[in-house]
């Protein structure tokens, strides 16, 4: 019953506004690295859900786009990052796993709630590999969208909802 009430609290969270995720692109030696953070992602309701032992996953979709005049923006690269957190009530330890495109790349245990909050809401120097080399003096955008699960899904509504989004524009100068 407690889990059901916490899930309902997760569903009732208000959608966040634009640019709730701070995005910082960095191009070094022709490679793109993206850092981003969502400082307001862990609300009090979400904190309670985690402390109850419910596994909560933060999923971040990162896209590199190039503006195309009078047409849809062209997507040059996509990657998905996820961070799952589980609290063990017996040991009072948090277990965090990070995944890139479905593969676990890092796992850590901590007793510090603040440290865990940083691990699930911020990523530094994520390499984003475009399908083709970046064109010199061209403008690009990095979009990051985030969602938190578990959440209740509307069976008849086919589109998803992101909890937070962010974007940053940069010009590749060689």
Asked, for residue 63, whether it belongs to a domain, the answer is yes
Give Cβ neighbours of residue 5 (< 8 Å, ≥ 6 apart): none
Question: How many structural domains are present in the chain?
Answer: 1
pLDDT of 51 above 80? yes
pLDDT band at residue 16 using 50, 70 and 90 as cut-offs: very low
Q: How many CB atoms lie within 10 A of CB 10?
A: 21
pLDDT of 87 above 60? yes
Give the pTM. Answer: 0.80
pLDDT of 70 above 90? no
Mean pLDDT throughout 89-111? 95
pLDDT of 154 above 60? no
Mean pLDDT lowest among 1-15, 43-57, 79-93, 100-114: 1-15
pLDDT of 102 above 70? yes
Asked, for residue 157, whether it belongs to a domain, the answer is no
Asked, for residue 93, whether it belongs to a domain, the answer is yes
- Please state, rounded to an integer, the average pLDDT across all residues of the chain: 83
pLDDT band at residue 72 using 50, 70 and 90 as cut-offs: confident
The per-residue DSSP string of 52-120 comes to TT--EEEEEEEEEEE--TTSPPEEEEEEEEEEEEEEETTTTEEEEEEEETTEEEEEEEES-HHHHHHHH
Asked, for residue 158, whether it belongs to a domain, the answer is no
What is the distance between the terminal CA atoms of the chain, rounded to a whole angstrom?
A: 58
Residue 164 in tokens: 């937070």
Asked, for residue 26, whether it belongs to a domain, the answer is yes
Residue 40 in tokens: 């307001």
pLDDT at 4: 36
Asked, for residue 121, whether it belongs to a domain, the answer is yes
Mean pLDDT lowest among 17-31, 48-62, 128-142, 146-160: 146-160
Residues of the domain holding 11: 2-152+163-172
pLDDT at 88: 97
Asked, for residue 46, whether it belongs to a domain, the answer is yes
Tell which wins on pLDDT, 121 or 2: 121
């Amino acid at each position: 019953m407690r889990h059901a009430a916490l899930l309902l609290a997760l569903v009732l969270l208000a959608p966040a506004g634009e640019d709730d995720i701070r995005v910082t692109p960095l191009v070094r030696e022709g490679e793109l690295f993206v850092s981003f953070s969502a400082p307001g992602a862990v609300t009090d309701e979400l904190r309670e859900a985690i402390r109850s032992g419910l596994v909560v996953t933060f999923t971040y979709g990162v896209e590199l786009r190039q503006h195309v005049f009078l047409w849809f923006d062209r997507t040059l690269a996509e990657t998905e990052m996820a961070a799952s957190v589980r609290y063990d009530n017996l040991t009072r330890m948090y277990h965090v796993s990070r995944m890139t495109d479905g593969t676990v790349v890092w796992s850590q245990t901590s007793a510090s709630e603040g440290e865990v909050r940083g691990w699930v809401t911020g990523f530094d120097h994520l390499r984003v590999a475009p399908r083709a080399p970046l064109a010199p003096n061209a403008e690009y955008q990095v979009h990051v969208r985030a969602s938190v699960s578990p959440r209740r899904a509307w069976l008849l509504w086919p589109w998803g909802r992101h909890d937070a989004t962010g974007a940053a524009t940069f010009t590749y100068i060689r």
